[in-house]
Amino acid sequence: MKFGPVAPADALGATAVHSIRKGDLVLKKGTVIGAADIAALEAAGVSEIVVAQLEDGDIGEDVAAARIAAAAAGDNVRLDRAFTGRCNLFAEEAGLLVVERAAIDALNRIDESVTFATLPAFKPVVAGEMIATVKIIPFAVPDRTLAQALEVAANARPLVRVQPFSVKTIGVVSTLLPGLSDKVIDKTIRITSDRLAPAGARIIAEKRVAHDRQALTVALKELFDAGAELAIVFGASAIADRRDVIPAAIESAGGKIEHFGMPVDPGNLMLVGSVNARPVIGAPGCARSPKENGFDWILMRLLAGLPVTREDITGMGVGGLLMEIVTRPQPRERESKEGHRVAAVILAAGRSTRMGGPNKLLAEIRGKPIVRLVAEHALASKAVRVIVVTGHQRAQVETALKGVGVTLVHNPDFAEGLSTSLKAGLAALGEDVDAAIVLLADMPQVDSALIDRLIGAFDPERGALAVVPTIDGKRGNPVLWSRRFFPELMALEGDVGARHLIAQNPEAFAEVPVSGQAALVDVDTPEALIAVKAELEAR
């Protein structure tokens, strides 16, 4: 291929390398120059134009791209028409993308003029999704280069294919130990159903049995008798060894263990086995979370009917460290001689709109404003410091707190919502704080004993990165947050709290069951104020 500047008169049949704009003339890059284009160039006073001219043995970019793409495509893959040297490949149905990595690497090493790019191997795709693209960089390639590319593609055909999801019926068994609530299991089932939906699979049978080899063995057999093509076991306790309850039950049911453990984090404690040629997954704890983890990688392959061998699993290490997870320990997480340093942040900036006028935080109970009672409870707890965020009626609230010994932080943006006060409070914390317990200034029944119970349950080394009180399974306030969550909390906008972070990170939360209603009752209305005042003054 010839490449370089020529006079317009010598450019007939060549391809314009660059766009030209001069006066009324607009000649786009890639235009095959005809007689009318030459006349327009000359009329515009263009004396020279950079072109590419094909020679004998050259294959045009669109033809070359289309032929390579056609040679690379396998089952359930369609091509678009090649244009500007590019030919895109698309999935024809939902499934898992399967690629021949070594052959694609070889194709890309033939010549710098030929490139072939794909989505990651084994990525779940949907019908119509673009999965790969062939791009010819220059305007043509020598026929020998094209021949080499076609030979590589033919020897490894197909380079890309889509393996449709074929496993549609799933059985799930959850094992039980004291302390594991039905609420956790219910949420796990919902998250699992959501995971299966894109593959067209569904849970047809679900069982909950004791964390016992014999009980689990029976449950597995019942799942397969019910028509499950794949079984998932969520253990109440993580698998610690090949001789543990879940692998032992699989073998007791007549099955075998393919591999235990995987070099993917989160997802290390994954177990893959089978019973009568039907796959069984011993799910790691992270599988209870909707975030991508090693469980997804195994599950999607099995739903597509692909075998998952020990070699497959041990080859997942490169790229196996997934995006940052809150439960992964980090060097900054340390325990001082006094224990973890937890500060209290009291949100006292609200406008009391539901009270119909007066500021509820200034209402008195036992002769003290509510906001002062809440601050005194926090000061009497194990919190290392107490910060109160003010906003509405700042002066009055500060007066109510005079002499208490808290750190006052004003939020001038309080009218924009709760999140602004939370951010103001967190921003005032020092680097020496490991966590913050966030209290609402209209909950005077939350005493120091409750605060201390939550602080005592904070244990990041054991995965308890946040703590929430529960009453009969219902979550209340206050909530304790590890510093690990501070970036997400600081990113909140508007009049919203952070409850969604609990749903997104269930493995990181410790629930502390408490008695009474203190963690659920806030003073939002005149009626609530009367009730809370009566109860506290009666004590």
- Structure confidence by residue, pLDDT tens digits, 128-137: 999 999 999 9
Q: What is the pTM assigned to this prediction?
A: 0.66
Answer CATH for 58-164 from 3.20.80.10, 3.40.50.10320, 3.90.1170.30, 3.30.70.2860: 3.90.1170.30
Query: Which CATH number is correct for 2-53, 3.30.230.10, 1.10.240.10, 3.90.105.10, 3.40.50.410?
Result: 3.90.105.10
Which whole number is the average pLDDT over 100-126?
96
Residues 255 and 285: beta-carbon distance below 8 Å: no
Residue 327 is predicted with a pLDDT of 52
pLDDT band of 190, cuts 50, 70, 90 = very high
Q: Does CATH number 3.40.50.620 belong to domain 169-314?
A: no
pLDDT of residue 328: 52
User: Which CATH number does 342-534 carry?
Assistant: 3.90.550.10
Question: Considering only 23-37, 90-104, 253-267, 448-462, which range has the smallest mean pLDDT?
Answer: 23-37
How high is the pLDDT of residue 332?
Answer: 42
Tell me which amino acid residue 533 is. Answer: K
- Position 269 scores a pLDDT of 94
Encode pLDDT of 273-300 as tens digits: 999 999 999 999 889 888 889 999 999 9
Phi and psi of 474, rounded to 5°?
Answer: -95, 130
| Residue 334 scores a pLDDT above 50 | no
Residue 323 clears pLDDT 90, i.e. is over it: no
- Residue 333 pLDDT exceeds 50: no
Q: List pLDDT tens digits, range 231-275.
A: 999 999 989 999 999 999 999 999 999 999 999 988 999 999 999
- 268: closest CA among 180, 328, 199, 311? 328
Quickly state the pLDDT bin for 335 (edges 50, 70, 90).
very low
* Run of H or E residues at 223: helix 213-225
Sequence ranges of the domains in the chain: 2-53, 58-164, 169-314, 342-534
**Highest mean pLDDT of the ranges 42-51, 319-328, 419-428:** 419-428
The pLDDT value given to residue 331: 44
Is it the case that residue 389 has pLDDT exceeding 80? yes
The segment with the largest mean pLDDT, out of 33-47, 361-375, 487-501, is: 361-375
Average pLDDT value for the chain: 91
Sequence-separated (6 or more) residues with CB below 8 Å from residue 234 = 172, 173, 174, 175, 185, 188, 283, 287, 288
CB 50 within 8 A of CB 44: no
Q: Please indicate whether the domains covering 58-164 and 169-314 agree at the CATH topology level.
A: no
